[in-house]
Amino acid sequence: MHAKALLACSLLSAACVVAETGKLGDADETQNNPFRTVYEATLLAKEGTNLRGSVTVSGSPDGRGIIYNVDFTGFPAEGGPFTYHVHDQPVPEDGNCTKTLAHLDPYIRGEVPPCDASKPETCQVGDLSGKYGNIEGIEGEERYKKAYIDRYTAITPGIGAFVGNRSIVVHYANKTRINCGNFVLKTTNPGGPGLPCRDGKCSTGTPIRGSPSRPTGPPMFEGDASKVSAFSATGILAIVIGLLW
Ligand SMILES: *[C@@H]1O[C@H](CO)[C@@H](O)[C@H](O)[C@H]1NC(C)=O
Ligand SMILES: *[C@@H]1O[C@H](CO)[C@@H](O)[C@H](O)[C@H]1NC(C)=O
Ligand SMILES: *[C@@H]1O[C@H](CO)[C@@H](O)[C@H](O)[C@H]1NC(C)=O
């Protein structure tokens, strides 16, 4: 991906100044994210807002990128559309969301111009709502649920795209921070499940309004890793979905 961008530069120097990508180029796809390792960020029990919920991530079956399951409720009636991002720093003990600093942005892109969702590799790595949609038309007890694979964040420690030591922040449209929470490691159980996706592409989940909570603790994924690796990513996802939902 990066090499391609450089090639385009040398062939057509005018195209070298690509405003929307990072100073360090487009985000690389992350690899080898462990499928059965799960991190979860739970929004704080913060006074002054009813916004609650969580963002759970795990490795995808082929290890490319990570699966997100977003589940929020309690949005205010005003002030949307709402956005959410992975922020660079964790929330400190005082619960002050401002101290998480800026969006996770290892390629030094900045927030402006806004992310073009059709080119997610050019967006800030942590700009989840930029890549997968802002939250609109959800308020009160309605729930916003969405599942997708993001190819540019990681749960493999040691690289800038690692999210496991960072936080999720939800914002009003005017960028004021509503609530936040830190990712914590939930499981590395080698026989345990990864995360489910709601559809084969794992990318077009739609909000579910006012639906009751699903029971937590999905069933175990029984597949044999060596057999699983022989299937296509889509096939594996279909199997995972079949087993887990
Ligand atoms: C942002 O919008 C919210 C909701 O409309 C409002 O309560 C808050 O004061 C606004 N913040 C700023 C800095 O304007
Ligand atoms: C939260 O942190 C920011 C940045 O450090 C600071 O300006 C702000 O006053 C803090 N807010 C509260 C309520 O302590
Ligand atoms: C989180 O982990 C990454 C990769 O290991 C590291 O580069 C980064 O400095 C860490 N960030 C924090 C806030 O600890």
Q: Is residue 77 part of a domain?
A: yes
CA of 78 to the centre of ligand 2 (A): 23
Upper half-sphere CA count for residue 179 (Cβ side, 13 Å): 22
> Closest ligand to 153 CA?
3
75: nearest Cα among 150, 156, 144? 144
Atom of ligand 3 nearest to the CA of 88: 13
CA of 92 to the centre of ligand 2 (A): 11
Q: Using alpha carbons only, what angle is made at residue 171 by residues 119 and 23, rounded to the nearest 5 degrees?
A: 40
Check which CATH number belongs to the domain holding 127 and give it: 2.60.40.200
Q: Tokens 């700009």 map to which residue?
A: 127
- What is the rounded distance in angstroms from the CA atom of residue 153 to the CA atom of residue 149? 9
CA of 215 to the centre of ligand 1 (A): 35
User: What's the pTM value of the predicted model, to 2 decimals?
Assistant: 0.77
181-199 per-position pLDDT tens digit: 999 999 876 555 567 655 4
117-153 per-position pLDDT tens digit: 999 999 999 999 999 999 999 999 999 999 999 999 9
Mean pLDDT of the chain: 79
Do residues 229 and 196 share a domain?
A: no
Q: Is residue 27 part of a domain?
A: no
Atom of ligand 1 nearest to the CA of 78: 5
- What is the rounded distance in angstroms from the CA atom of residue 41 to the CA atom of residue 164? 9
Query: Please, which pLDDT band fits residue 61 given cuts at 50, 70 and 90?
Result: confident
Per-residue model confidence (pLDDT) at position 35: 85
Do residues 197 and 217 share a domain?
A: no
Q: How many domains does the chain have?
A: 2
